[in-house]
Amino acid sequence: MDTVEHDVQSVPSVKYTARDFQSDQDVRWCPGCGDYAILAQVQRVLPELGIPKEKYVFVSGIGCSSRFPYYMSTYGVHGIHGRATAIATGVKLANPDLSVWVATGDGDGLSIGGNHLVHICRRNVDVNILLFNNEIYGLTKGQYSPTSRYGQITRSSPMGNIDHPFNPVLLALGAEATFVARTMDRDQKHLHDVLKRAAEHKGTSFVEIYQNCVVFNDGAFAIFTDKETKDENVVYLEHGKPLIFGKERDKGIRLENHRPVVVSLKDGKYGPDDLLHYDEKDPGLAYTVALMSNYPGMPRPVGVFVDVQRNVYEQDLLNQIKSAKQKYGEPTLEALFNAGDTWEIK
């Protein structure tokens, strides 16, 4: 089948800076909120992509993160609760030339919007999804969310949360998103690099961002972001490289009986060649490594879990439309009304 090429990567006539993507609206998140860091890095990444400013669209649902379109000097849609990915799908299908971004949260994206999130991933619509995960409902004042930890005391779980939390990366991998990553609001360089890679990927990009809520869940990710504890509790995924971590770079990850385990590199028993070398082209390995987040005592994997290619949904749709026109000619409303099974009532 012939292909119909649509490419948002046309070079703009103007060289942009981050300031060009800052709107005239006052940014109104709580002082110290991790959303500021995410906003800043998105505004820094966009000028590097070579896309005309008028081709960007930011879509959100409901939540603190969903104020995002107001603060971007681009086209934007502030949608309804949980429907950001559905709206973004419609925007991309209506105009595949656009660079479409979704700003959603763990409540908006994984609770009422969970169904839509699964389907945009499996369809592989060329949309960038940024899931701000603070493990709490911030906008509605501190109820537990789908990612809140088991036993967590919140406004709606005073005796402790008894729900098993979602692992967003596992969810996206299970729905076969073609780009899945995790990064953190306080790791600015890593955040920038992951966002740029997500934007350059052709297909659904899903990025979970650990985002601190200073009011209702302050310090939820401190063990992974504070200088004193980060090195011992975070392992960065780098394609083709062994999984090594620790302040002295003296620990590594091996697969034993198909399960990741931590080993010491100090005594000489194991070296870098004995460790798991990460392969972001292997979705099965990505799932295995993502499960480390669920195992006590394991470092938290951060980085690109999977980056693979397959047909994007909007391209297949365009090809199907072109094929139908070649076979049946230009459609008319009359032909549509009389297509398929019709009958006359006498």
Q: Which tens digits make up the pLDDT trace of 73-82? A: 999 999 999 9
Coil, strand or helix at 90: helix
Residue type, 138: G
**What is the pLDDT confidence band of residue 28, given thresholds at 50, 70 and 90?**
very high
Name the phi and psi angles at 172, rounded to 5: -65, -40
For the chain, what percent of residues have pLDDT higher than 90? 88
Q: Which residues, listed in sequence order, are joined to residue 262 by a DSSP beta bridge?
A: 253
pLDDT at 338: 77
* Across 88-100, average pLDDT: 97
| 123-180 per-position pLDDT tens digit | 999 999 999 999 999 999 999 999 999 999 999 999 999 999 999 999 999 999 999 9
**Pairing state of beta strands 251-256 and 244-245?**
antiparallel
CA distance 94 to 225: 40
Burial profile 169-188: b = 16 or more Cβ within 10 angstroms, e = fewer:
bbbbbebbbbbbbbbbbbbe
From the list 150, 139, 155, the residue with the least C-alpha distance to 61 is 139
The tokens for 13 are: 């006539």
CA distance 280 to 283: 7
pLDDT at 13 over 80: no
Residue 30 CB neighbour total at 10 angstroms: 14
pLDDT at 30 over 70: yes
| 307-333 per-position pLDDT tens digit | 999 999 999 999 999 998 888 888 888
CA distance 172 to 203: 13
pLDDT at 185 over 70: yes
18-225+311-319, CATH topology level:
Rossmann fold (3.40.50)
**What is the pLDDT confidence band of residue 11, given thresholds at 50, 70 and 90?**
low
H or E element, residue 56: strand 56-60
| C-alpha 313: how far from chain center | 18
From the list 52, 63, 61, 66, the residue with the least C-alpha distance to 98 is 52
Q: Provide the whole-model pTM.
A: 0.92
C-alpha to C-alpha distances, 266 to 21, 210, 269, 274, nearest whole angstrom: 48, 31, 8, 13
pLDDT at 262 over 80: yes
| 202-249 per-position pLDDT tens digit | 999 999 999 999 999 999 999 999 999 999 999 999 999 999 999 999
pLDDT at 7 over 80: no
The tokens for 240 are: 């083709």
pLDDT at 3 over 60: no
**What is the pLDDT confidence band of residue 341, given thresholds at 50, 70 and 90?**
confident
The tokens for 130 are: 């940024």
H or E element, residue 223: helix 222-225
